[in-house]
Structure 1
Amino acid sequence: MIYLINQTTFQQYEDIAINIKPERLNIFIKKAQELDLKPFLGHALYYDLLTHFNEDGTLKDDASQPYKDLINGSEYLDQFGHIVLYEGLAPTMVYFTFARFIENDAIHYTATGPVIKHHDNGDALSSPEIIKLVQQQRSIANAHANDVEKFLLDNKTDFPLWRYNDKNKSSRQPGPRIRGIDKNDFNYPGSYNNYNLPITEFLN
Structure 2
Amino acid sequence: MIYLINQTTFQQYEDITVNIKPERLKVFIKKAQELDLKPFLGHALYYDFLNHFNEDGTLQDDAPQPYKDLLNGTEYLDDYGHIVLYEGLAPTMVYFTFARFIENDAVHYTATGPVIKRHENGDALSSPEVVKLVQQQRSIANAYANDIEKFLWDNKADFPLWRYNAKNKSSRQAGPRIRGVDKTDFNYPGSYNNYNLTITEFLN
TM-score (norm: length of structure 1): 0.90
Spell out, residue by residue over 1:139-171, the C-alpha distance to the aligned partner (whole angstroms, 9 max, x if none): 000000000000000000000000011011122
- Counterpart of 2:4, as a letter, is L
Figure out how many residues of one structure are paired with residues of the other and give that number.
Answer: 193
Which residue number corresponds to residue 35 of structure 1? Answer: 35
Which residue number corresponds to residue 13 of structure 2? Answer: 13
C-alpha displacement of 1:174: 4.4
Which residue number corresponds to residue 100 of structure 1? Answer: 100
Q: 1:152 to 1:33 in 2, by over 3 A?
A: same
**Alignment partner of 2:161: what SS?**
coil
Q: 1:52 to 1:80 in 2, by over 3 A?
A: same
Contact 1:106 1:117 in 2 (8 A): yes
Pairing of 1:30-179 with structure 2 (within 5 A): 30-171=30-171, 173-179=173-179
Contact 1:44 1:162 in 2 (8 A): yes
Ranges of 4+ aligned residues in structure 1 off by more than 6 Å: none
Contact 1:142 1:180 in 2 (8 A): no
Which residue number corresponds to residue 196 of structure 1? Answer: none
C-alpha displacement of 1:52: 1.5
Which residue number corresponds to residue 181 of structure 2? Answer: 181
C-alpha displacement of 1:64: 1.0
TM-score (norm: length of structure 2): 0.90
Which residue number corresponds to residue 2 of structure 1? Answer: 2
C-alpha displacement of 1:180: 3.0
Alignment RMSD (CA, Å)? 1.9
- Counterpart of 1:152, as a letter, is L
- Counterpart of 1:188, as a letter, is Y
Q: Which has the higher helix share?
A: 2
**Alignment partner of 2:186: what SS?**
coil
Which residue number corresponds to residue 201 of structure 1? Answer: none
Contact 1:40 1:170 in 2 (8 A): no
**Alignment partner of 2:37: what SS?**
helix
> How many percent of aligned residue pairs carry the same amino acid?
86
Spell out, residue by residue over 1:165-204, the C-alpha distance to the aligned partner (whole angstroms, 9 max, x if none): 101112265444431336332222699x9xxxxxxxxxxx
